[in-house]
């Protein structure tokens, strides 16, 4: 893991609080990995779409059987 990466288990988090935490904590040049897990309520798509609309560089990933969203803030 890169020293500028942080992983948050977003599976059980409220979507609004997750987005607020990202806005507050993600600094320029940092990467945040949201581990969404099974995506039962399609929260991966909601979080992804919202972050794209807010101007973040966002990618969906599937690693070790879990849905993840990789969030970068441009430098």
Q: With residue 45 as reference, give the H or E element that holds it.
A: helix 43-53
Residue 10 main-chain phi, psi, to 5 deg: -100, 5
Model pLDDT for residues 9-59, shown as the tens digit of each residue? 776 667 777 777 777 778 888 888 888 888 777 788 888 998 888 888 999
By residue range, what is the domain housing residue 29? 5-72
Q: What pLDDT score was predicted for residue 25?
A: 75
Tokens of 18: 């997750």
- Which CATH number do you get for residue 54? 3.30.110.40
- Is the model's pLDDT at 62 over the cut of 80? yes
Provide the 10 A C-beta neighbour count for residue 11: 16
Contact 32, 8 (CB under 8 A): yes
Number of domains in the chain: 1
Contact 69, 44 (CB under 8 A): yes
């Amino acid at each position: 893991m890169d020293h500028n990466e942080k992983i948050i288990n977003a599976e059980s988090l409220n979507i609004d609080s997750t987005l607020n935490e990202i806005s507050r904590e993600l600094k320029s040049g940092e990467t945040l990995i949201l581990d969404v897990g099974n995506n039962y309520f399609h929260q991966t798509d909601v979080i992804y779409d919202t972050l794209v609309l807010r101007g973040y560089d966002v990618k969906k990933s599937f690693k070790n059987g879990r849905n993840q969203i990789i969030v970068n803030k441009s430098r």
